[in-house]
């Protein structure tokens, strides 16, 4: 009979849930789940548990939520569990060396890119922002660096022309669970050798902030359209009409070119919003005003007409 592993799972957001689900339904045994503390969320700042905690409790799994993972208390408690493996999927913190040294087999990380490309906190968003046609999921044997460990398995996923970071996130999360179980099966059967990354090919995907969503109209139309897709649903792409914020959910490039300054609304059909950019013209498709709801541009313009010549900030 193929051996099974005793596993401590570490993860926090929705991306990590399919990995935990796959582990729970596998032959391996999850002996504890480590996730981030509950945090305030939304306009009401209500304290909300992370998605991994909700799923773990649904499965009846033990959950711990340490504020810090470098403390002797946490390290000692983890050591006493004597796990074969730590499995880490979007936990949100870099593990210190003393934690990495605890499991007897090692620490497996599920990362949402084809490493060594897009190391870091926002690989899904940056792959779309940069106009990539393909990305994927990689499992690695973790070391002290950020996503620098030896590669175990890689599975690739096509980025569709209409993908947002939200739609791609969901597919990669599911793929992550599949690749994780395949990785553990091969490790258990001793049929998997880790391969060092080519660090010279590494790129980074730094964490995004809300202000990163502001559109720079000097960029080419294609780059702006990709940025909007990559910023949807979070942190959200936006521009200003005067002092009012306009959130932009989707846009297309159009063949017409304009000599107007970037950011200028140009003549188009009555039910569309065309904006000049640094190279080409962008047709905005879905928006949300400051106090409204998400609307097609046709529905938005019906109540909030924007005249040609208006400059978006």
The sign one gets for the Cα dihedral 12, 135, 212, 143 is positive
Strand pairing report for 244-254 and 281-288 = antiparallel
pLDDT, one tens digit per residue, over 4-52 is 999 999 999 999 999 999 999 999 999 999 999 999 988 788 999 999 9
- Cα distance from N-terminal residue to C-terminal residue, the chain: 64
- Reported as a pLDDT band with limits 50, 70 and 90, residue 304 is very high
Residue 205 · residue 125 · CB < 8 Å: yes
Instruction: For residue 11, give the H/E element and its range.
Output: strand 6-11
d(CA 203, CA 193): 24
> What pLDDT, on the 0 to 100 scale, is given for residue 258?
84
The CA distances from residue 206 to 50, 119, 203, 223, in Å, are: 22, 8, 10, 18
Alpha helices in the chain (DSSP H): 17-24, 51-58, 72-81, 97-100, 123-129, 165-188, 221-230, 297-303
Residue 2 has pLDDT above 80, yes or no: no
Retrieve residue 226's tokens: 């990709």
Query: Domains of the chain (ranges plus CATH)?
Result: 6-201 (3.40.50.170), 210-303 (3.10.25.10)
pLDDT, one tens digit per residue, over 187-203 is 999 889 999 999 999 99
Residue 203 · residue 118 · CB < 8 Å: yes
> What pLDDT, on the 0 to 100 scale, is given for residue 1?
52
> What pLDDT, on the 0 to 100 scale, is given for residue 270?
80
d(CA 256, CA 229): 21
Residue 155 has pLDDT above 70, yes or no: yes
pLDDT, one tens digit per residue, over 203-241 is 999 999 999 999 999 999 999 999 999 999 999 999 999
Is there a cis peptide before residue 233, judged by omega within 30 degrees of 0?
yes
> What pLDDT, on the 0 to 100 scale, is given for residue 271?
85
pLDDT, one tens digit per residue, over 113-128 is 999 999 999 999 999 9
Q: What are phi and psi of 88, to 5 degrees?
A: -120, 120
Q: pTM of the prediction?
A: 0.95
Residue 157 has pLDDT above 90, yes or no: yes
Q: How many CB atoms lie within 10 A of CB 209?
A: 8
pLDDT, one tens digit per residue, over 276-299 is 999 999 999 999 998 889 999 999
Residue 310 · residue 267 · CB < 8 Å: no
> What pLDDT, on the 0 to 100 scale, is given for residue 20?
98
Is there a cis peptide before residue 167, judged by omega within 30 degrees of 0?
no
HSE of 105, CA atoms in CB hemisphere, 13 A: 25
Retrieve residue 120's tokens: 């870091």
Residue 218 · residue 262 · CB < 8 Å: yes
Residue 266 · residue 275 · CB < 8 Å: yes
Across 81-111, b (16+ Cβ under 10 Å) vs e yields: eebbbbbbbbbeeebeeebbebbebbbbbbb
Percentage of the chain with pLDDT > 70?
A: 99
pLDDT, one tens digit per residue, over 96-152 is 999 999 999 999 999 999 999 999 999 999 999 999 999 999 999 999 999 999 999
The sign one gets for the Cα dihedral 291, 263, 301, 272 is negative
What number is the average pLDDT over the span 57-62?
A: 98
The CA distances from residue 211 to 12, 55, 186, 239, in Å, are: 24, 32, 43, 11
Percentage of the chain with pLDDT > 90?
A: 93
């Amino acid at each position: 009979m193929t051996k099974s592993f005793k596993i401590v799972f570490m993860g926090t957001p929705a991306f990590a849930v399919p990995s935990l689900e796959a582990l729970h339904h596998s032959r391996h045994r999850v002996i504890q789940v480590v996730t981030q503390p509950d945090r305030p969320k939304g306009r009401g700042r209500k304290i909300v548990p992370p998605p991994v905690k909700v799923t773990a409790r649904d499965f009846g799994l033990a959950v711990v939520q340490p504020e810090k993972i470098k403390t002797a208390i946490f390290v000692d408690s983890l050591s006493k569990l004597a796990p074969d493996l730590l499995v880490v999927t979007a936990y949100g913190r870099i593990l210190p060396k003393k934690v990495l040294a605890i499991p007897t087999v090692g620490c497996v990380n599920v990362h949402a890119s084809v490493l060594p490309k897009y190391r870091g906190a926002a690989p899904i968003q940056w792959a779309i922002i940069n106009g990539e046609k393909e990305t994927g999921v990689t499992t690695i044997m973790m070391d002290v660096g950020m996503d620098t460990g030896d590669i175990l398995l890689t599975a690739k996923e096509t980025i569709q022309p209409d993908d947002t970071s939200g739609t791609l996130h969901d597919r990669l999360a599911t793929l992550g669970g599949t690749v994780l179980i395949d990785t553990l099966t091969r490790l258990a059967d001793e049929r998997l050798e880790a391969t060092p990354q080519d660090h010279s090919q590494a790129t980074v995907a730094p964490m995004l902030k809300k202000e990163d969503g502001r559109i720079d109209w000097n960029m080419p139309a294609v780059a702006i359209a990709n940025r909007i897709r990559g910023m949807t649903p979070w942190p959200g792409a936006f521009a200003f009409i005067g002092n009012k914020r306009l959130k932009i959910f989707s846009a297309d490039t159009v063949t017409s070119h304009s000599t107007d300054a970037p950011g200028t609304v140009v003549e188009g059909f009555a039910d569309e919003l065309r904006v000049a950019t640094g190279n080409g013209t962008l047709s905005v498709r879905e928006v949300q005003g400051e106090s409204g709801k998400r609307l097609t541009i046709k529905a938005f313009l019906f109540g909030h007409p924007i005249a040609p010549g208006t400059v978006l900030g």
